[in-house]
Structure 1
Amino acid sequence: MTIKDTVRTVGDLMELAARTAPKGLGQDFIEIKVLTDEERIALGNDMLEISKERSNYGFERDGRNVLGSDAVVLIGLLPHKGAGLNCQACGFASCAEFNERSSHGEFDGPNCAIRLLDLGIALGSAAKIASDLNVDNRIMYRIGVPAKRLGISKANISHGIPLSATGKNIYFDRSKK
């Protein structure tokens, strides 16, 4: 087994941790996927394209990190209705009003605050597994943009966690340009 194979196994364990992470009202709207190498490379290359299109160096820097990674775990929030709590954290007076709205852009919305918390807990649970197993990682929202654009993700909003096992963490001390 190579180091890359071991890192992918850690990605599988991260997928398990995100799946079993606590979810509001016991309902699961979390999409989790360990990307294939082909998907990872397409994603990284699209991030470089987005950087050029938007003159946004962050996409280039993060895209290079994705291309230099051993694996990427994608975690997102699938389309959903309001949790039924009428808590107004989404900015609407009720879940019924929330359920009538939709917007589409870089990410889709609106999103229920309870469900977004579920996404955050899933991301944290997955990143903790990588950290506990000494695999370098960093949660990146920019990964979600090309994941949606390329059809890799069906989520309203997603983040990616690239994984690397080298002598130096590639996700820190990065150029700010």
Structure 2
Amino acid sequence: MVFESDAVEVVARLMALSARTAPKARGTDVIKTMIVTEEEKERLAGAMREYGEKHDAVFFIRDAGNVVASDACLLVGSLYADAVGLDCGGCGYATCAEMLDAQRELNPPATPFRGPNCIVRMADLGIAVGSAVKTASLHNVDNRVMYTAGVGALSLGWLEGCGVAYGIPLRASGKDIFFDRTR
């Protein structure tokens, strides 16, 4: 299965390309990606387990098992201190300047993601993640978008400058390991 794992790593790179070239508001790229394999995968799964145990969130521990069993994991995050500048109010603040001020004041260290965030930038992140998983699907690589893997990555200090991230573990096997799961 070495050649299949190698193929998955190639697809992970193509997925990172898809995330990078996905459309973004005002053409400003705020997306960061990272591909983890082997030892980094183990570190990521360990951070996920630790978070799950600390917060009594068993789904983090379950998802950590999927990350370990995967061939690779693509991480996709959105830079934190950014706003599109539309003053749309989607973030809950009247202006982008107010939201950026709130970012500097409101960061409880116990939360998995930093906020508030520009809603348009969160849509950019969703489009980037969607573009990445579309690429995995085109190449028949099993995958699952995981909030838990993003939390683990940020807790390790990966994707520097990002406030929100998702992980997408990838696997090539005869059976999709991501959808026959128990709690």
**Would you call these one fold, judging by a TM-score over 0.5?**
yes
Q: Which residue of 1 aligns with 2:148?
A: 142
Give the counterpart of 1:122 among 125, 128, 150.
Answer: 128
Q: Equivalents in 2 of 1:48, 1:148: separation in Å?
A: 14
Q: CA deviation at 1:153?
A: 2.2
Q: Which residue of 2 aligns with 1:15?
A: 16
Q: Equivalents in 2 of 1:142, 1:18: separation in Å?
A: 19
Identity of aligned residues (%): 46
Q: Equivalents in 1 of 2:182, 2:27: separation in Å?
A: 41
The runs of at least 4 consecutive aligned structure 1 residues that moved more than 3 Å come to none
**Number of residue pairs aligned between Structure 1 and Structure 2:** 176
- Unmatched 5+ stretches in structure 1: none
Q: Which residue of 1 aligns with 2:30?
A: 29
Give the counterpart of 1:110 among 91, 107, 116.
Answer: 116
- Unmatched 5+ stretches in structure 2: none
Letter in 2 for 1:137: N
Letter in 1 for 2:102: R
Q: CA deviation at 1:35?
A: 1.5
Letter in 2 for 1:130: A
Give a deviation string over 1:64-91, Cα, whole Å, max 9, x none. Answer: 0000000000000112332111110000
Give the TM-score normalised by the residue count of structure 1.
0.95
Letter in 2 for 1:6: A
Q: Any conservation in 2 of the 1:108–1:157 contact (CA below 8 Å)? A: yes
Q: CA deviation at 1:101?
A: 1.1
